[in-house]
Structure 1
Amino acid sequence: MKILIVDDDPLICQSLQVLLSREKDMLVIGTAKNGAEALEKCEQELPDAILMDIRMPVMDGIQATREIKKRWPHVGIMMLTTFEDEKNIRLALLAGAKGYLLKSAQVSTMAEHLRALNAGSSVLDANVLKTLTQPEKQDLSELTPREKDILELVAQGCSNREIAEQLFLSEGTIRNTLSIILEKLEVRDRTQLAIYYWKNR
């Protein structure tokens, strides 16, 4: 099995290259420090599987995964990262990754998962699977007192004008603050915002 390692930390790349090369059925064909380099390596010598970091300069792992799967759909990609938040996991899987493993995993576990990936299976770390199936309840602690006031009024069905009148603010300020609240809580619209409030207050 030909493996490409993609990570902007040269020490991680070097360590994994040495350790995985000890596996009799694995050949590390090279390393890349970002997604753009990974695409070049795929052009030069198509790997069977890729260990892909998420956060990298130039082109991140999720964008690189999307591009690689578009050009070489049979290549198995396993995200190897320190991040196990639900958003990154879902973005990686939507991009086409078939595995998601934490960097804290043992190399023997990585090797087993790479074999399963190469055989066509999807592989998720146990902690990652728990994050997906039992996402942690978010709270409202990131919001300022003013943002919480506005959120509560939105949940009560008030319009921007009504909120502005009650809080003695302009409608423009309410609109801007609502945009900030939506971004902080990662929801799309007022309806989801109201649902979020009643679930998490």
Structure 2
Amino acid sequence: MNILIVDDDPLICQSLRLLLSREPDMDVTATANDGAAAIQCCEEVLPDIVLMDIRMPGMDGIQAARQIKQKWPQVQIMMLTTFQDEHSIRLALLAGAEGYMLKSTQVSSMAQQLRALASGSSVVDANVLKTLMLPEKENRSDLTPRENDILELVALGCSNREIAEQLFISEGTVRNTLSIILDKLELRDRTQLAIYYWRQSL
């Protein structure tokens, strides 16, 4: 399988390239240091798997994953990170990533998980899965009561006009508040807002 490694730390890229290249069925065809470079690499040498850090300057792994999946849905994406917070995990999976593992993962286990991903399985590290199963509350608490009201009405399928009528505010205020909510939650559109809301309600 052909693998693209993406991390803003060149040493990590080099180390992973060296270690994974020892696997007989793995070929690291390229490395990149940010999300934009990862997309460019996909243009030039389409990999089977992108092994990508989630937190990078410029375009991060979540933004890059979203664009890669839109352009090349067949490419499998494994997010690799030291972060274990549920908000990042959920955003990565919403962006289309099929796997999520920690940088502390042993190389032998990492190779096994990449093989599982290549075979079509979704792969989430056991420790990450435990975090993912916890209810995500901290980020939603960053929203004001009005923002939470609008989020709930979006999840219920209300249009901007219907939200404005129910909350006795203008449609312009609804639009502006939606933009603020999307920025706070690092989401792209109303659909992702609805998915986010219902996942928090489980």
**2:11 aligns to what SS in structure 1?**
helix
The offset of 1:134, in angstroms, is 2.9
Give aligned pairs, total: 148
Q: Secondary structure at the residue paired with 1:78?
A: strand
Secondary structure of the structure 2 residue equivalent to 1:30: strand
Aligned position for 2:88: 88
- Alpha carbons of 1:87 and 1:137: their partners in 2 closer, same or farther (altered >3 Å)? closer
Does the residue aligned with 1:131 lie in a helix, a strand or coil? Answer: helix
Secondary structure of 1:68's counterpart equals helix
Measure the CA separation in 1 of the matches of 2:84 and 2:122: 17
What is the Cα deviation at residue 55 of structure 1? 1.1
Contact 2:52 2:77 in 1 (8 A): yes
Q: CA offsets per residue over residues 10-53 of structure 1, 9 Å max, x none? A: 01000000000000000000100000000110011100001110
Q: Is the CA contact (8 Å cut-off) linking 2:87 and 2:136 kept in structure 1?
A: no
1: CA distance between counterparts of 2:52 and 2:134? 25
Please show how residues 5-154 of structure 1 align to structure 2 within 5 Å. 5-135=5-135
1:121-164 Cα offsets, whole Å, 9 max, x none, are 000001110011134886xxx99xxxxxxx9xxxxxxxxxxxxx
- What code does the residue aligned with 2:86 have? E
Map 1:180-195 → 2, pairs under 5 A: none
Tell me the distance in 2 between the aligned counterparts of 1:60 and 1:130: 24
Structure 1 unaligned segments of length 5 or more: list them.
144-150, 152-178, 193-201
AA paired with 1:52? M
Q: Which aligned runs of 4 or more in structure 1 are off by greater than 2 angstroms?
A: 134-138
TM-score, normalising length from structure 2?
Answer: 0.68
Partner residue, 2:171: none
2: distance between equivalents of 1:134 and 1:44?
Answer: 39
Q: 1:108 to 1:135 in 2, by over 3 A?
A: farther
Q: Percent identity?
A: 68
Structure 1 distance, partners of 2:135, 2:83, is 14
Q: Which residue type is aligned with residue 19 of structure 2? A: L
Cα separation, 1, equivalents of 2:45 and 2:118:
17
Deviation at 1:72, TM superposition (A): 0.2
- Give the letter aligned to residue 32 of structure 1: A
Q: Equivalents in 2 of 1:136, 1:90: separation in Å? A: 9
Partner of 2:2: 2
Amino acid in structure 1 at the alignment position of 2:43:
E
